[in-house]
Amino acid sequence: MSESVEGRRTPRARVGLRLVALLLLLPLTFLASRSCGDTRHAVSQSEAVGIARAEVAYRPDGTNVRFVRRGIPSRSYWAISLWQLAADGTRTHVTVVVIDAETGEVTQVNRNTSP
């Protein structure tokens, strides 16, 4: 009725082997994931802001820049929000310009001129 010594050690040895395999795979997985995504862009953030400013007829008081990926396979874009401030501090003339981070092409312009 008692278990053999070998029967008790086998599951522990398997758990240990699985743990070692997992610890070896984690760094490899991390390196593979880092090599898949390219973080360099043909159009820099400051160049994208300059392209976006050319799309508006006003001098913006502020900007907000976001880097986004869209589509399958994903493609890199800069989304730049530009706005003016009214006397009461509310944002007016809000414009969002989406720029392809590889080509510099303006792909979308959304304007909202109401306060």
Looking at the structure, do residues 28 and 57 belong to the same domain, yes or no?
no
Looking at the structure, do residues 2 and 50 belong to the same domain, yes or no?
no
Looking at the structure, do residues 76 and 107 belong to the same domain, yes or no?
yes
Say which residue, 15 or 89, is predicted with more confidence.
Answer: 89
Q: What is the CATH number of the domain that holds 96?
A: 3.10.450
- As for how many domains the chain has, the answer is 2
Looking at the structure, do residues 50 and 5 belong to the same domain, yes or no?
no
Looking at the structure, do residues 57 and 10 belong to the same domain, yes or no?
no
User: What mean pLDDT is predicted for residues 54-70?
Assistant: 93
Sheet holding 106-112, edge to edge: 62-70, 75-85, 91-100, 106-112
The residues that bridge with 91 in the sheet, in sequence order, are 85
pLDDT in tens, 20-37: 887 888 777 766 655 555
Q: Which domain holds residue 108?
A: 45-112
Looking at the structure, do residues 29 and 60 belong to the same domain, yes or no?
no
Q: Are 65 and 79 in contact (CB under 8 A)?
A: yes
